[in-house]
Structure 1
Amino acid sequence: MNIPLIDLKAQYESLAEELKEATFGILSSANYIMGKTVIDFEKAFAEYVGVKHAISVGNGTDGLVIALKAMGIGEGDEVITTPFTFFATAEAISAVGGTPIFVDVYKDTFNIDVTKIEEKITSKTKAIMPVHIFGQCADMDEINEIAKKHNLLVIEDACQAIGGKYKGRNVGSLGDAAVFSFFPTKNLGCAGDGGMIVTNNDDIAIIAKALKAHGSGENGQKAYNLLNNIEEEVQKAEGANDTVYNPLKYYNYLIGYNSRLDAIQAAILNVKIKEIDNWNAKRREVAEIYNEALKDTDLVTPVTRDYVEPVYHMYVLQSENREAVLEKLKTAGVSTGVYYPVPLHLQKCYKNLGYKEGDMPVSEYLSHRTFAIPVYPELTKDQVDYIISKIK
């Protein structure tokens, strides 16, 4: 039996007719950039997360960059985050001119260790960016309390955690802003790149909307006026077609980016968002089966706080003999993934920050022991049983 780490074909086949209808509808309409389909998805996503604003962007990394810039993070500012995550988290901070300040993680949940945050705060610190790693929410109450005490912003990197909950509240609604990714392998994935910024802050939303499209047009003028305390009537282009011609796009107010979720991806996501809760529930079911079956092995299974509802973007185990386990599973046809082999503070591009081995002992420990096994919702009972038998 051969079992992939994630089976995108199986997901597609379960929704094939709806997805064909949605994508062909966009192709026949010839409205490929922004437009009603994108607006509909933004509204649906904002409602799902429980926030006022959802601003779609080209990908999760762009979302982090634009959100940081919209929140005023720039040259010389420090943002506290975790070294045990995908590179984009720290990369986005660097991309706006900031400096990532790394704080080690908990060995059981892999999330940022909130007890170590305050000691890293300086006069240059402007924000905390927790990552809800592998679909489990960080300790947001503690993070928000620290942020409030030190007058810091909080931005959730929720790229792996769509649908997760923290003390009954939705991931993405717990800070000043949050960012999601729709990369195809995410729990809610499109057929290419896509991302979303969410916030309850009107000012952050206005600036983010401007920055995503070259700082131009109606949103560009709104953002410019906001940032410069100007009160004037904003130009509007009623009925403009962003695919063909919008006269206001040639009036630029801020230096921004070109980062848009195209209509085909939005159409796909409008279909899939209806399934996300069911898919996440199936991931939790598979994870519970793994937890029970592997509890008597020498592997360390994931730990979930009792006030968190995880979505298991990845089901990550720890092993003292990782390479041997991975080789056995590969021979048995079970695909695995190593997340993450090099913590961010030891990446060569951050050599200038002066970190060395031993500075983040837990992250370094985990980087040599963690690996993911399949947990996607389309797994069959036979596949799950096979994976467990081969691990044992």
Structure 2
Amino acid sequence: MARRTIYLGLLAIVIPYLYDRYVALSALAANRPSKLKDVYNFRQHEFKFRDSIRNCEDVLLVEEKGLAIVSCDAGRDRWNTVMGTFAQHKGVVGGGLYVYDYATPGLSEQDALARLTLKNIDTEDFHPLGIEYERKSGTLYVVNHAQTGSVIEIFDLDFKTTTATRRQTFRHALAFSPNSIQALGDGKIFFTNDHFIPAAMSPILSKIETFSGVPGGSVVYVDLTRPSETARTLARVPFANGIAMLNSSTLAVASTSKSGIYFFSVTADYHLQSKNHISPPEYHLKSQGYIRTPVAPDNISVDGNGKLLMAGHPFALATMKVSRGRANCDPDSRKEEDRKACDCTAAGWVAEWTPETGLRELYKGYDICTSSTAVRDVGRGIGLVTGLYDRGLMLFKE
């Protein structure tokens, strides 16, 4: 009887896990190249800056200025700490941040795009991933997967001079695999770690963590004015990727290996330290459920109507194949095989979600490769999509 109870207990644990992996892998199989069905719910789209920027992972909008900030890294071909590409012996170029004026009519591509001048930082070992902008203070947060170690860089951003001056570097034991950032104001942020075992530590164990769906990723809170006192892990999420506040009290976190979005309620506790002084808030997260997505989501954003936008990878194995072959990429090489290595053949995907309408796919196909972020300016009726290993940006109109 005792043995049977143990077996039943083990089955109760194992069966939900196996079913979850079955559903995730079934979605992967359904989106393999021979089975993928195109979705196109845009009015039209076009590509910008094909010959100027590539490997752009994240983009955010500053709608009141009609500007987009984009993080791009040509060096990702040979240095990708998330996907596990470490070919520094072939030479790794630094990445960059760009400002795109998408709202001023009549601008040429050359005049519409400006590369930010970065000050007080080693630009040759700058490999930006997730970015976040705090409007009130003009602070730009950037995940930097430098070869010397992954950190979060904090810049003072000046749009007039297109200059970003590093003010602070956040390096911490809890920022071992930072990916995406959500600012809360006054130097307080949430950020995700995508893995518990980064590929730089063990490529094999990192892949096992990815495909097993174990909750190795994390959501971390820190007040950057008091990092040593405040940094702490608030939640565990399998392959925690994009992060965004859906509203003032709900945090959304994309899980790439789980193929879904987790939701958490956000609360802040204040304590009276003395008669006239209240302590800074202590943030807490409480699980509020999860929605499954038909593909592996990457980054997420929230538009002006409160809709959650997401971009992702319909067939993750194709994304991994592109990443593995990129170490030999040289678009200017005389050798055809080196130019061929720059090809990007993994499908892209964009969707939106609200609690009332559920998930609606906006795009699925091969026009944009390895799509990683989608954002939308509702007032102007346009949006942008980045491609982790693609060239330029996709601009869509609805």
Q: Please tell me the TM-score bracket, short chain as reference.
A: under 0.3
Larger RCO (alpha carbons 8 Å, 6+ apart): 1
In the superposition, the TM-score normalised over structure 2's length comes to 0.25
| Structure with greater proportional strand content | 2
